[in-house]
Amino acid sequence: EDVKLLSDMGVDAYRFSIAWPRLIPDGRGAVNPKGLEYYNNLIDELLAHGIQPHVTIYHFDFPQALQDEYNGMLSRKFIDDYTAYAEVCFKNFGDRVKYWSTVNEPNIEPIGGYDQGILPPRRCSFPFGVLSCDNGNSTTEPYIVAHHLLLAHASAASLYKEKYQAKQGGNIGLTLLGWWYEPATQTPEDIAAAERMNDFHIGWYMHPLVHGDYPPVMRKNVGSRLPSFTDEELKRLLGSFDFVGFNHYIAVYVKADLSKLDDELRDYMGDAAVKYDMPFLKKNQLLFGLKSDFMTSTPWALKKMLEHLQLKYKNPIVMIHENGAASIADPSAGNAPDDEFRSQYLQDYIEATLESSRNGSNVQ
């Protein structure tokens, strides 16, 4: 019924994620036949209605068994287990799935889960966590986890390209969070801060994938805490994508805070040497949502991000995988609100995408 509703709306593509624990409950080994059945049925139903599946292999749902066994993504063991799981997906669904994203938002999971402690496994260290954490190291663990996520992506993409792509005819990439960082003022310091933050946010993944190493500013500011790639890893990593997905919602205004570079202990934000307001609502030290004014309409930010990718990262094929806006509910509207804000938001972003395409971006 849900798929039919999508079809009735005229939707011709649907992005969803496969849950690793649903398919392989222990993270490795035996595959759950009911999990296979569920995803096979979903894929077949989508195709029967003329809807192309766009599948994300990993989206924040790490198997608890592997977290308990070796501390999850902090261990390089994760790379092999993830690759084996990805192969189960390719082998069982790849005859029908033509668009694969290896990981979702790997540029935010290490921060939320290993620096600020607001996402599983809620690791952080004083004084950096948004919430209090019992264990972790905010100064090193985000960089280790991001490094392993990059290597896991490259491993799975390499496997797909070598073993499955020719006969299955699909495409593989990854999906990044695409906040666009804009200077809070037009001072040289804030302009440099915005450039630096875009390197830390987008360049953290795009620079190794396109240019073969982390951005120079990350190498400089993070120093020995930032892992290095072997020659073999770089061979797998460079160009290991057919497209890049972006989840884009907002512009974030940043100010320079170079004094952070003098701190003996620094986390990701300290290394970036910037400051900006985090849009989280807290009560009794628990997160329960986003500020109501978090998502304003800034379609120009999408155009700037796409131009940035075009100029700095060799104009990759880009797919906008997430976009939209939250707004304050109107109790008087009942179940049929006049949703003018979000309707206009989507219209503006579609127009921004079209304009970027006409200006040479490979956005699709």
Q: Which of 45, 195, 233, 322 is catalytic?
A: 322
> How big is the CA angle at 3 (ends 36 and 18), to the nearest 5 degrees?
35
Beta-bridge mates of residue 100 = 55, 172
Task: Please report the sign of the dihedral spanned by the C-alpha atoms of residue 157, residue 161, residue 167, residue 173.
Answer: positive
Residue from 105, 109, 141, 182 carrying the catalytic annotation: 105
Q: Residues 237, 150: contact at Cβ < 8 Å?
A: yes
What 3-state class would DSSP assign to 311? helix
Whether omega before 227 lies within 30 degrees of 0, making that bond cis, reads: no
Q: List the one residue out of 300, 298, 323, 311 whose CA is nearest residue 362.
A: 311
Task: Return the residue matching tokens 């260290």.
Answer: 125
**CA gap 112, 67 in Å, rounded:** 16
Query: Which amino acid is present at 228?
Result: S
DSSP assigned state of 202: I
* Cα 227 versus chain centre, distance: 20
Nearest to 266 by CA among 354, 143, 352, 355: 143
Tell me the backbone φ, ψ of residue 102, rounded to 5 degrees: -70, -45
Task: Characterize 82-118 residue by residue with b for buried, 16 or more Cβ atoms within 10 angstroms of its Cβ, and e for exposed.
Answer: bbbbbbbbbebbbebbebbbbbbbbbbbbbbbbbbbb
Fill in the amino acid letter for 357. S
Is 37 part of the annotated catalytic residue set? no
| Residue 105 annotated in active site | yes
For residue 20, what are the contacts with CB-CB under 8 A and spacing of at least 6?
27, 57, 58, 61, 62, 63, 85
Question: Catalytic residues, which ones?
Answer: 105, 322
